[in-house]
Amino acid sequence: MIRRTLETLSFDNTYARLPQAFYARLNPTPFSAPPHLVHANPAAAELIKLDPEQCARPEFAALFGGSALAPGMEPLAMLYSGHQFGVYVPQLGDGRAILLGEATNGRGERWDLHLKGAGMTPFSRDGDGRAVLRSTIREYLCCAAMQGLGIATTQALCLVGSDDKVYREQIETGAMLVRMAPSHVRFGSFEIFYYRKQHEHVRALADYVIEQHFPHLREVGDKYARFFGEVVERTAKLIAQWQAVGWAHGVMNTDNMSILGLTLDYGPFGFMDDYDPGFICNHSDHNGRYAFDQQPYIGLWNLSCLAQALLPLAEKEVLKAGLDTYTPRFEREYLQRMRAKLGFAEEKPEDDDLIRDFLGLLQGSHADYTIVFRELGTFSTAEGASNDRLREHFLNPDRFDGWAVRYRERLRNECSRDDERCDRMNRVNPQYVLRNYLAQTAIEKAQHKDFSEIDRLFTLLQDPFTDQPGMEAYALPPPNWGKHLSVSCSS
């Protein structure tokens, strides 16, 4: 495969062909001093046919640190609105991010390159348009973590740092992150034109998204209703993936919901340590609207907002029928993933109760979600086996023993073999996740220009299901200082 250099890298911007009402054209605001590369993602570079060796060049940091433009880039800030914590906000938009353009690879796939922390835009409101090193490290690493877990996500091409000072809760250094996705269109991209009664723009945006990303619907008579149905399906699958791995987004506003069913806008996210269905990862979420166990419902609520915005294009009852498929689809996806986590190769009527009761045991014992599910792969179905390593995770081992009798019988009923089941379970129960304290450790080192922990975590998280020699400490529960780290929307 012929790879591009920085000199041969070229762009287009189909979003810029939409009417001017959809965006504001402007260039990134460069840092006051030349930026430096913190980390680059070779796999993401390959997606746009860019030779990964180009990432080491100073010109790379200049291009993706807002100081230069490549041919074909037409930078713009995207306009949208959205429901934030359940309240409609009439205008939002890219307040600190700029869509640079689209790069196409050898398979004809288009990738948006979106520069976060690129400076003020007309949609910045009271913000400064910048991102800080802390928040960009968290997003960069979590993109890698989600990719490694097989969860639909935006990707990160690179992280570029600077010595410019940015004020959040304290003075921090600024940074820029280039995130990649086939599209950065959100539910809120449709909402703004619906509520402005600019229904012709709702149609134009729907036609654009279908043309670019749902081409099989181009000539279908009921294409808008079927488009919505596919968004419902993708969203249900995405949130089932989040729930199964124990991950909370933290800010599931409609402007943070991807029309393609991607995990979008990493802020105060969190992987659960101790299993707690009411886990709130965002300390700004005082009422727990976006708690872990609320995410499936919020997915439905957000889709209902999208359905409302599509009313000019499709009949209400047809959209409602599409919306009604969400809950059964989510439940089917979630149950399928949880069966796999427990090692079941077949479907049985008692599975739902077994899963629910096991989660109840985890909750009652404040047991670590990731560690115990990984440990469950070692469960022995042999007669008289004590499974002592597993029992140690539970405050009331007798209750676990009662569940284990049912679990053993369930496994035997499908003639499960322990070694084969363990291999299957280890392919869906990760050994490593991006715990908040791990990200915090990388952040603190990076603030002293030591980027080694970013590189170590980035490599580790790309293969989270495989035991990696010398990395045992990364699979342990968090230390006491790392259990209740405060993470806010500015994170």
Strand 247-248 to strand 270-271: parallel, antiparallel, or no bridges (unpaired)? antiparallel
Query: How far, in Å, CA of 253 to CA of 284, rounded?
Result: 13
Query: Phi/psi of residue 163, each to 5°?
Result: -100, 5
Q: How far apart are the first and last CA of the chain?
A: 39
Contact 458, 144 (CB under 8 A): yes
Query: How far, in Å, CA of 64 to CA of 46, rounded?
Result: 16
Q: Which of 179, 92, 85, 83 is nearest to 135 (CA)?
A: 179
Selecting among 94, 255, 273, 285, the annotated active-site residue is 255
- Catalytic (active site) residue 276: no
Write out the two tokens for 147: 């990719």
Q: Strand, helix or coil at 174? A: strand
Write out the two tokens for 164: 């410019």
> Virtual CA dihedral for 255, 256, 258, 259, nearest 10 degrees?
-20
Contact 25, 69 (CB under 8 A): no
Query: How far, in Å, CA of 214 to CA of 203, rounded?
Result: 15
Active-site amino acid positions: 255
